[in-house]
Amino acid sequence: MPELPEVETVCQELRKHVKGKLIKTSCLITNLRLRKEIPKSIETIVSNTLIQDISRRGKYILIHLKNGYSLVIHLGMSGKILIKPVDYNFIKHDHMVFYLENLLLVYNDARRFGLIDIVESKKIENYSYFSKLGVEPLSEAFTPEVLIKLLKSSKANAKAFLMNSENIVGIGNIYASEILFKSGISPFKCVYEISEQRADLLYKNIVETLIESIHFGGSTLKDYSKVNGESGYFQNNFKVYGKEAEACVVCDNEIKRVNQNGRSTFFCEMCQRS
């Protein structure tokens, strides 16, 4: 699944290709449930309305419609939004389609951990899945001071802290490992013990890593691809993720993999001692 850079890349592509376009009709292709059931009412609500804009909250994609509603789409682990020609033939795991004037928007999600929902735009701040979300790392609201305050008020380890969307949104399993490596912070470190100097470095690396990855179009592992089906390229820049038993690019020590809260963490014991 896509982490923040992948979701942001999808948003940018959607803005480029479908912003301002008319949704003629839409239709559920399967009756299988995603994280929750796709509301059948979407079909009527989104028909014959213009796509006004596309934005993002954490890893949720928001498609704002001119009729006062917003589509909320989450890609889960394996979700994709793909732009297809009008003569496209549906394939396995296509769950919903939006018919625009000369193209289709198709939502495909093999593992069905994703989400499609519809909400009144003016009530979006109260949307249940958004109520506990933390700060947007690429917004002006995210500053070194804000990060330090969050670190001081949490007893979680560094990996769990970065993964917890109640602190900072958008950082998933890959970028958590990468950001901690760049910052020289052990994934086991209790975050309230991180020095302010080290926190400044962490701040810089959170922002830089995400921006750099967006620049590369996100990363592509098994399931994620951009709306045109092309791959992103950031995975070529991974320093530790998926590099178990390989040599650290900095110190040549062996990269380790451990399980933290059921997820793999990759790190270098020599470089990450703070």
Q: Which residues bind DNA (CB under 7 A)?
A: 1-3, 6, 33, 35, 58-59, 74, 76-78, 92-93, 110-113, 129, 132, 154-157, 160, 163, 165, 172-174, 218-224, 260-264
For residue 98, which of 18, 24, 15 has the smallest C-alpha distance?
Answer: 24
The H or E element containing residue 21 is none
**Least distance in Å: CB of 141 to DNA?**
19
Q: Which of 244, 239, 165, 156 is nearest to 205 (CA)?
A: 239
Report the nearest approach of DNA to the CB of residue 196 (Å): 18
Are 61 and 11 in contact, with CB atoms under 8 Å apart?
Answer: yes
CB 149 → DNA: shortest distance, Å? 13
**Which among 56, 59, 226, 243 is annotated as catalytic?**
59
Asked if 33 is an active-site residue, the reply is: no
263 in catalytic set: yes
Catalytic site residue from 19, 198, 257, 263: 263
Alpha-carbon gap, residue 272 to 274, rounded angstroms: 6
By beta-carbon proximity to DNA, the closer residue of 2 and 137 is: 2
Give yes or no for a contact between 107 and 95, defined as CB atoms under 8 angstroms apart. yes
Among residues 40 and 92, whose Cβ is nearest to DNA?
92
Output 22 or 118, the one with its CB closest to DNA: 118
Angle between the 196-215 and 144-152 helix axes, to the nearest 10 degrees? 120
Whether 254 is a known active-site residue: answer: no
**144: annotated active-site residue:** no
Write the DSSP assignment of 154-178 as a string of letters: --SBHHHHHH-TTTBSS--HHHHHH
Considering the complex, state which of residue 88 and residue 216 has its C-beta at the smaller distance from DNA: 216
- Closest approach of DNA to the CB of residue 160, in Å: 4
* Residues forming the active site: 2-3, 59, 263
